[in-house]
Amino acid sequence: MEKGKKETMRLEIESLSKNEEFARVVVAVFMSRLDPTLEEIDDVKTAVSEAVTNAVIHGYQNREGKIIVEAEVEKEEKMLTVIVCDNGIGIGDVKKAMEPMYTSDTTGERSGMGFSFMEAFMDEVEVDSEPEKGTVVKMKKRIGG
């Protein structure tokens, strides 16, 4: 690999909860080229799980749709970037949605901790969303540093 060059991957999955595990394993295998610790792998897998689950449950509200998972490694900087996108219902108030314990779920089954977990396990989390257009979650983690 050329010095400073980035490696990328892109995965498109159906918005089914069973695909959450597949997405997190694919990202974990992809990030292995940065020689992460087991703890770093677990952190990223948890964050990816939360982002994909949010897309399935909140973005598409368990309806049919596509979720795009992209990942990029910058070997020189030992940086992993993961982006999870959906074209679901979007988030009207991103700041409120990112508050711990906030959930739009009315069944009482969700804890509202998805974004909090992403922020706890990753170094950076950005959420860009527009009602009726979808949501993009961009997460970064420095590996080995």
Helix pair angle (19-31, 38-54), 10° resolution = 140
For residue 110, indicate whether it is catalytic.
yes
DSSP label at residue 32:
G
Q: What number of other Cβ atoms are within 10 A of residue 82's Cβ?
A: 26
- Whose CA is closest to 61, among 106, 118, 115? 106
pTM comes to 0.88
For the chain, domain boundaries: 6-142
The catalytic position among 19, 24, 40, 54 is 54
The catalytic position among 19, 20, 24, 50 is 50
CATH class (in words) of the domain with range 6-142: alpha beta
Q: What is the pLDDT of residues 27-71, one digit of tens each?
A: 999 999 999 999 999 999 999 999 999 999 889 987 999 999 999
